[in-house]
Amino acid sequence: MAHERTLTVGGHPVRVLEDGQGVGVPAVFFAGIGGLPRWIPFLDHLAASRRVIAPSLPGFPGAADFRHLDSLLDWIVHAVETIEALDEHPVDLLGSSVGGALAAEVAALAGSLVNRLVLIAPFGVYDEADPAADIWAQVPGPDAIPNLVCSDPENWKTAWQLPEGAEAIDFQVMHSRAMEAAARLLFPFGDTGVVSRLHRVTHPTLLLRGDEDRVLPASYNDRFRAALPGEVRTATIEAAGHLAELDAPEATAREINAFLADQEFSRGEA
C-alpha cells in the first residue's frame, strides 16, 4: 500500500502518496483531469523499479484548496514550491493532461528541479484549425467525462469507485472540485502560452499520448516536440485514451521506465 503524508505548500495542505524502493532520482507524478482519488495501478507499475511520489494538485483529491490561485503564474509557483517542499530535487517529473501542462511549465521556469521530463497528452496549446474537445461543455451525466477521457470508461469508473465506508456525496464533491480547478487553470481553450517557453526545456523529454485520445489531437504533441530544443522521444500507447495511465497502465509505465532508465538516450537517436 502507498504511504500517505501531508505537506504544507503556501500555507495550504497537500496530500502526498508515495511508494516504491530504490536509490537515485525519484519520479514525481502530476495527475491529469480529475486527479488521483486513490493510488492507481499505473503508479504500482512505475514503483516496481523506482520510488514514485504523487502530490495532489490544487483542487484535486487530497488538496482541496485552489481558489487562492488567481493566475497561471500562481499555479506554476505552487507546482514549483510543491517540488521544493519534497526536498529531493532534481526529480524525474511526470505530468499527464492538466498535470502535464504544469510539469512543462516547471521544467521551463525552474529547470534545476527537474532531471528528466515525461508528458502524457499535456494541455497547454490550442489550434483553431484542429480544436481540442471542450471538456467543460459536455452534456451533463455520469458517463460524459469517463467516455471522453478514457477509451474504456470503466477504467475511469474503477479509479473513482467509492471506497468502503465513504459517502457518495463526498466523491461527487471531489470530482466537481477537480473539474472546477482544472477550468480555473485552463478554461476556455487550454492554451497557457507554454510553447513560447519550451525553448528553455533542455531536459531529456518523453512525449506520450493514447492512440484513442478524444480530448487533444495528435498535432498538439507534435507542437510540443517542435518547440523543445533538447532530447525528445515520442510514443503512442495503443488502446488508450486521453488518460493513458488509466486505460493502459502497464504499457504506459513500461514506456516511461524504459525512457528513465536509458542513460544513452539522445535526440539524435529519437
- Average pLDDT rounded to a whole number, residues 171-199: 91
What percent of the chain has pLDDT above 70? 96
Region 141-148: what's the mean pLDDT?
86
The 10s digit of each residue's pLDDT in 47-72 is 998 999 999 999 999 999 999 999 99
Give the whole-angstrom CA distance, residue 15 versus residue 237.
Answer: 29
| Cell numbers found for residue 1 | 500500500
Confidence of residue 270 (pLDDT cuts 50, 70, 90): very low
pLDDT at 139: 63
- Which pLDDT does position 153 carry in this prediction? 96
Residue 5: what residue type?
A: R
User: Per-residue confidence at 143, pLDDT binned at 50, 70, 90?
Assistant: confident
Task: Provide the H-helix boundaries in 193-262.
Answer: 218-227, 244-247, 249-261
pLDDT above 90 for 162: no
Report the pLDDT value the prediction gives residue 268, as an integer from 0 to 100. Answer: 41
Closest to 180 in 3D by CA, of 216, 135, 123, 147: 135
Return d(Cα 205, Cα 222) in angstroms, integer. 13
pTM for the full predicted model: 0.94
pLDDT at 141 over 80: no
Q: Which of 23, 96, 30, 77 is nearest to 57 (CA)?
A: 30
Burial of 175 (0-12, 13-18, 19+ CB in 10 A): middle
**Cross-sheet strand order for the sheet of 114-120:** 3-9, 12-19, 52-55, 27-30, 91-96, 114-120, 205-210, 232-237
Strand segments, DSSP code E, in 124-163 are: none
State how far the Cα of 54 lies from the Cα of 62, in Å rounded to an integer: 10
Q: Calculate mean pLDDT across residues 210-216.
A: 97
To which residue does cell 505530468 refer? 95
Res 22 pLDDT > 80? no
Question: For 3-261, which CATH class?
Answer: alpha beta
